[in-house]
Amino acid sequence: MKVITLVENTREREDLCQEHGLSLYIETKKHKILFDTGAGDCMVKNAKKLQVPLEEVDTVIISHGHYDHGGGLEDFLRMNKHANIYIHPEAFGHFYSERKDEGTVYIGLNQKLKDEKQFIWTADALRIDEELFLFAKVTKRKHFPIGNRTLFVKTEEGFLPDYFRHEINLMIHESEKKVLVAGCAHNGIVNIINKAKELTQAYPTHVIGGFHLSKRSSGIKEDDLVIKAIGDYLIETGVMCYTGHCTGEKAFLQLKDILKHRIKALTTGLIINI
């Protein structure tokens, strides 16, 4: 299995584009997968430079309804007319973020895309085939990210807290590898891993994605004791982690002190062979 980081907040090559967002290209034995599309046009620009064939992608996962994970979706739809795009039915909700300098800002997906014919609306759990399994409905709240407190959904009743029912996660089973891919882990990475174990009867061998331990726009950072507890939990599971985007540099370094060689930083252009 090969994973190429098309979009992340940082980059390892100067010729690549970086932005606050996440997009991963994943090649398995059976599939060419795009997990999230970043915030804008960096995904397409970087795919060309990294020789990633977006036009050959057969499966797309949009992890949740925020622009930094689905902002490149319109560009993808222009160049690929055959891929199945899996997305939660609530992902086109009206999502907002409360920011220090800008007030309450819309951070949702482009509403004009919601009737696209390539979309496949997911359920709480959906097995695509023997390799790919999607799940949502993560309801436990252990170490629920503090940064979620400034994230809302606009309804007829006004702004309500977002409990991230629209967040989906991907499990990839290939040989002995069980790879969990999470976009931002808004539901809490501990809860998501526990849900994956509950559904598949085993802990993942690898976890890739953001852990939402820092919120750039508001300056909120997770408590040090919570980060230590998460690190200790990850040690117990035996998982190998690749994380970045909304994890935050400070939290990553704290986790690195605990996990040592079992955690690596995601960065634009990084190629992971599993």
DSSP secondary structure string for all residues of 144-188: --GGGGGEEEEETTEEEE---TT--EEEEEETTEEEEEESS-TT-
Per-residue pLDDT, 217: 61
Q: What are the boundaries of each domain within the chain?
A: 2-273
Of 74, 63, 77, nearest in space to 21 by CA: 63
Tokens matching residue 233: 């939990």
Whole-structure pTM value: 0.97
pLDDT in tens, 121-152: 998 999 999 999 999 999 999 999 999 999 99
Write down the pLDDT at residue 221: 85
pLDDT of residue 101: 79
Q: What is the mean pLDDT of residues 86-95?
A: 98
Q: What does the pLDDT look like over 26-54, one tens digit per residue? A: 999 999 999 999 999 999 999 999 999 99
| Residue 192 pLDDT level (bands cut at 50, 70, 90) | very high
Q: Is the pLDDT of residue 216 over 90?
A: no
**What are φ and ψ of residue 95, in 5° steps?**
-100, 140
Which pLDDT belongs to residue 218? 60
What is the architecture, at CATH level 2, of domain 2-273? 4-Layer Sandwich (3.60)
Q: Which of 25, 144, 152, 18 is nearest to 93 (CA)?
A: 152
* Side chain identity, residue 237: T
